[in-house]
Amino acid sequence: MFGLETDVFILLFISLFAACAFEFVNGFHDTANAVATVIYTNSLKPTVAVVWSGICNFTGVLLGGIGVAMGIVNLLPVELLVDQNVYHSVAMVLALLLSAIIWNLGTWYFGLPSSSSHTLIGSILGVGLAFATMPENKTGAAVNWDKAIETGYALLLSPLLGFSLAIVLMFILRRSVPEEAKDQLFKEPKKNTEPPTWVRAILIATCSLVSFFHGSNDGQKGVGLIMLILIGIVPYHFAVKADLDPRLMQTNVTAIQQTISALDSTHLSLTNRVRLAQTNTELTELSALVNGPLVDGKIPNEKRLDVRRDLLLINSNIKKITADEGSNLSAAQNALLTKNLGEEGGLRRFTDYAPLWVILMIALSLGLGTMIGWRRIVVTVGEKIGKQHLTYAQGASAELVAAMMIGMASWLKLPVSTTHVLSSGIAGSMVANKGVKNLQAGTVKNIALAWILTLPVSVLLSFTLYIFFRWVL
């Protein structure tokens, strides 16, 4: 398969299996948060709830695009993503996947709704930092810090917003819902008793939305993992999109060259003057390649990683150059650059993609994982965050807020944590009901501890595993 030697093919298979295992674990770890309210409020039977949530997750992955997936891929430095040594790529993939799976399984076992997103991103950061210690890394590149900071803001702000918005929504419901409906909406579920039909419909709808948007965000992280594996181990097939005619790049290259020729480099910083010279060289190389003889209209195998590196560096360098205070480009010129660099009709359409079979594989893994192992997290979310049991209004408010936050993040192509957003929403709804004293300090402390530990532990795990695998492979 893919013309690989037997040992490399086995490593590819193990890596793909590990990525699917991570997404499977993500399904029963994170998606339990989505079904917690409908199960706990007796709106749906557990079996029906997890199957329905699995279907919604599957659909979310299929329809969610790949913006978040590429954000995950681009956390790592270009030098690591275009390493010609296939065993280095295998070490990278196994390190970040195993560290993420170990921490996810550990927190699941103890019933703690920790974040798979934090785990994965911490694992990626650990690999990047470990790569910085490698002798072949002449530049000292470790992590795409601009992307990492952007991702960090999304992960930090989303639970805070989830907590706050749930309080606001509960306040609005208390003020706007008629008294006769309020009695039904704000009471605790009775054991083995379904809620009123209209309340049940709201809870099922919000569960469906959270599940769908969870698939559209968390599912993309799995897609990003698979693409990291494929680009690293079989770059000849996946470094650039094979079914696009490379000669289509020429229009973009020409437009970019003409636009950046208007830059007055004397006002740029020294670093950005170097970047500008490097970008012009890469654009010239790309132009010569796509205008030269191409067999069957394809980029030669041995050139595909080089082309990917050039495309990524051109995009990264131009963003930094145009952000320089000395840049004299107009808004129209910057917009033209953005268009010709982007994934819709620009150069990034050759690097930012995922085959349909990859998306289907992750959708299936996430959907199946949803149907297993939900009970531990459901009990924590339903009974242990607040001192009172979850009411219908609290469940609906928390899930509606979570759906909005995750959907917005997917639209902005940013990864967020379903766990953090939803559990923060539950906490916010508890506070809205009877104040901070309504929170169970022990559970909140354990959840907070899992949140705080997730990033450093996953960084340390993946850092250590990457060093180990580089030594072994």
Domain ranges of the chain: 6-237+354-472, 247-350
* N residues, the chain: 473
Q: What is the mean pLDDT of residues 151-155?
A: 81
Q: Is 297 left (phi over 0), alpha (psi -120 to 50) or beta?
A: left
Q: What is the pLDDT of residues 402-438, one digit of tens each?
A: 889 888 888 888 888 777 787 788 778 877 766 665 5
**What pLDDT does 439 receive?**
60
Alpha-helical runs (H) found in 234-298: 235-238, 249-260, 270-291
Q: Which residue, among 454, 416, 451, has the nearest Cα to 122 in the 3D structure?
A: 454
Share of the chain above pLDDT 70, in %: 87
Choose the most confident range, by mean pLDDT, from 42-51, 54-63, 441-450.
54-63
Q: Is the pLDDT of residue 332 over 70?
A: yes
Instruction: Give the residue from 258, 259, 276 showing the smallest Cα distance to 267.
Output: 276
Q: What is the mean pLDDT of the segment spanning 308-333?
A: 88
Residue 3 has pLDDT above 70, yes or no: no
Residue 121 has pLDDT above 80, yes or no: yes
